[in-house]
């Protein structure tokens, strides 16, 4: 019996009268998978429920924040309690100090931390601080990596690696991306060649140490270490954008998992526990450049507000309280990957790090943006819609990562695999 979506359809149509594309973030519009978006009424644990009463096992988790599962009782209780004492003061409050200390316990590479309200704001600010410290305008980023929508980071590769990056959005003047260089992910030789050519004007390298915005692409052996060495050699500031992977892949994210220490780290998603909160930080010598200590300006009305800070702090406390969390997530990830690969029999490729994974509809390893683009996005769209009808909510794009949470259990993965066997078997 196909699910009823009439309320979602009606509300999606109404939303389009008031919000661009009916959404407050483009990927939610389901443009990459067709059909209308489902409108979510509520969520708990590993399940979400739409406005028609359909319940789905959720593999999006609000794009990463919900590592504990939705509506974790301790997080909800803590937010309800703190909200009674005021939502925002625009002044320091005790818990934002506690959250900064907690972040430093998870991330010893961060001497000083600044709390902000989104991953975009955190990435934009971190790159500004790094440029202010390096006193060189050039920034190297990698094609297919997404660091939020600040102008200088909305840049795609130019015609050749040596050329300046082109704006990746209307409204971004070429003058703003003229100091941004976009290179292929996992290509250390391209970094070396660019530094040999233009090293004198480049001060910053920013990267997703495990890429999640092309679908899930791990760093190839030696890539991150090589980047670290090149940054040391050329005195570049290495910025790890761990907005998606922070607290996700390990207690201290990718830098903990791979043992590479960046100069600055950007955090988001999990650190806010589902509320608008992100952070950036790093070595004291860098962070002392930030106003009011130094000349790099960055500010925010709601930065560190008590409610968002409480959601983040309680989430980190719950991670601390569950030392077995990452083993649980790894076991679930292995169960899912092994099961999917048995079903696919080579008709697709599962790439995974811990509880982040992507099913790529291609027959070759996906190591960078160019190989990710070989995927059959139409097949992905059919798979997405078939799984949605079967009660499983996947990211509505081939070029996104899916997420597992502490609330997922082996039986949820088993049900997912049973449905995937049927959907993939249907001449997909
Ligand atoms: P926000 O501004 O969306 O909080 O964070 C931007 C950001 C920065 N860095 C990385 C590595 C990110 O993945 C993100 C945001 N991720 C997307 C998912 N691909 C958020 C979902 C959306 O854009 O709606």
Divide the 428 residues of the chain into consecutive groups of 10 and give the mean pLDDT of each group. 87 97 96 95 98 98 98 98 98 98 98 98 98 97 96 80 72 93 96 94 98 97 98 98 98 97 98 98 98 98 98 98 97 98 95 98 96 96 97 97 98 98 83
Q: What residues have CB less than 8 Å from 253, skipping those under 6 apart?
A: 107, 209, 240, 242, 245, 246, 247, 265, 267
Same domain, 278 and 153: yes
Count of domains observed in the chain: 2
pLDDT value of residue 421: 97
CATH number, domain at 104?
3.40.640.10
Q: Are residues 134 and 65 in the same domain?
A: no
pLDDT at 13: 96
28, 29, 61, 63: residue to mutate for ligand 1 pocket, most atoms within 8 A of CB: 63
CA distance 233 to 237: 11
What is the rounded CA–CA span in Å between residue 361 and residue 71? Answer: 33
Do 268 and 287 sit in the same domain of this protein?
yes
Whether residue 270 sits in one domain with residue 178 = yes
Query: Is the CB–ligand 1 distance for residue 242 below 6 Å?
Result: no
CATH of the domain at 65: 3.90.1150.10
Alpha carbon 323 to chain centroid distance?
A: 23
Domain around 310: 73-320
pTM of the model: 0.97
Same domain, 252 and 385: no
- The vertex-226 CA angle with 220 and 230, nearest 5°, equals 150
Strand-pair category, 392-393 with 55-58:
parallel
Distance 119 CA to ligand 1 centre (A): 6
Do 11 and 83 fall into the same domain? no
One domain, residues 67 and 84:
no
> Are 90 and 60 contained in the same domain?
no
Q: How many CA atoms, within 13 angstroms, populate the side-chain half-sphere of residue 116?
A: 21
Q: Are residues 80 and 141 in the same domain?
A: yes
Task: Tell me, yes or no, whether 39 lies in a domain.
Answer: yes
- CB-ligand 1 contact for 65 (6 Å cutoff): no
Kindly state whether residue 358 falls inside one of the protein's structural domains.
no
Pairing of strands 356-360, 47-50: unpaired
d(CA 380, CA 360): 8
112 and 42 belong to one structural domain: no
Q: Are residues 103 and 156 in the same domain?
A: yes
Counting beta carbons within 10 angstroms of the beta carbon of residue 27, is it exposed (0 to 12), middle (13 to 18) or buried (19 or more)?
Answer: middle
Closest atom, ligand 1, to C-alpha of 213: 19
Comparing CA positions, the residue from 139, 111, 100, 105 lying closest to residue 123 is 139
Rounded CA-CA distance 118/34 in Å is 28
What span, in angstroms and rounded, lies between the C-alpha atoms of 47 and 55?
7
The whole-number pLDDT of residue 2 equals: 72
Answer whether residue 328 is part of any domain. yes
Which pLDDT value is given to residue 199?
A: 82
Ligand 1 neighbourhood includes 27 CB (under 6 angstroms): yes
Same domain, 305 and 391: no
Q: Are 265 and 110 in contact (CB under 8 A)?
A: yes
């Amino acid at each position: 019996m196909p699910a009823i979506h009439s309320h979602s359809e009606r509300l999606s149509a109404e939303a389009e009268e008031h919000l661009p594309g009916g959404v407050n973030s483009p990927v939610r519009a389901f443009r990459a998978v067709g059909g209308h978006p489902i409108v979510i009424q509520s969520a708990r644990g590993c399940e979400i429920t739409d406005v028609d009463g359909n319940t789905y096992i959720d593999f999006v988790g609000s794009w990463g924040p919900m590592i504990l599962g939705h509506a974790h009782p301790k997080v909800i209780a803590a937010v309800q309690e703190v909200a009674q004492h005021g939502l925002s003061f625009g002044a320091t409050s005790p818990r934002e100090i506690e959250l900064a200390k907690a972040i430093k316990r998870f991330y010893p590479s961060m001497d000083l931390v600044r709390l902000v309200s989104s991953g975009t704001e955190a990435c934009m600010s971190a790159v500004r601080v790094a440029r202010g410290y390096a006193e060189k305008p050039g920034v190297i980023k990698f094609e297919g990596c997404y660091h939020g929508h600040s102008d200088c980071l909305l840049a795609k590769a130019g015609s050749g690696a040596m050329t300046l990056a082109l704006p990746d959005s209307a409204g971004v003047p070429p003058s703003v991306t003229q100091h941004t260089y976009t290179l292929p992910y996992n290509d250390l030789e391209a970094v070396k060649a660019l530094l040999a050519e233009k090293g004198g004007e480049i001060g910053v390298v920013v990267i997703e140490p495990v890429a999640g915005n092309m679908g899930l692409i791990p760093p190839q052996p030696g890539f991150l270490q090589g980047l670290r060495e090149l940054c040391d050699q050329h005195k570049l500031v290495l910025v790890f954008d761990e907005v998606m992977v922070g607290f996700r892949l390990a207690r201290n994210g990718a830098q903990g998992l791979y043992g590479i220490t960046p100069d600055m780290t950007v955090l988001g998603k999990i650190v806010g526990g589902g509320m608008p909160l992100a952070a950036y930080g790093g070595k004291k010598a860098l962070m002392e450049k930030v106003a009011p200590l130094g000349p790099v300006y960055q500010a925010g009305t709601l930065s560190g507000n008590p409610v968002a800070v409480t959601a983040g702090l309680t989430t980190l406390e719950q991670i601390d309280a569950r030392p077995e969390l990452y083993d649980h997530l790894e076991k679930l990830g292995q169960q899912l990957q092994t099961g999917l690969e048995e079903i696919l029999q080579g008709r697709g490729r599962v790439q995974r790090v811990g509880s982040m994974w992507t099913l790529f509809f291609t027959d070759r390893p996906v190591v960078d943006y160019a190989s990710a683009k070989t995927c059959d996005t139409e097949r992905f769209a059919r798979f997405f819609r078939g799984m949605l009808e079967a009660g499983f909510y996947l990211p509505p794009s081939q070029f996104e990562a899916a997420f597992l949470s502490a609330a997922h259990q082996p039986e949820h993965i088993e049900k997912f695999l049973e449905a995937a066997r049927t959907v993939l078997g249907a001449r997909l």
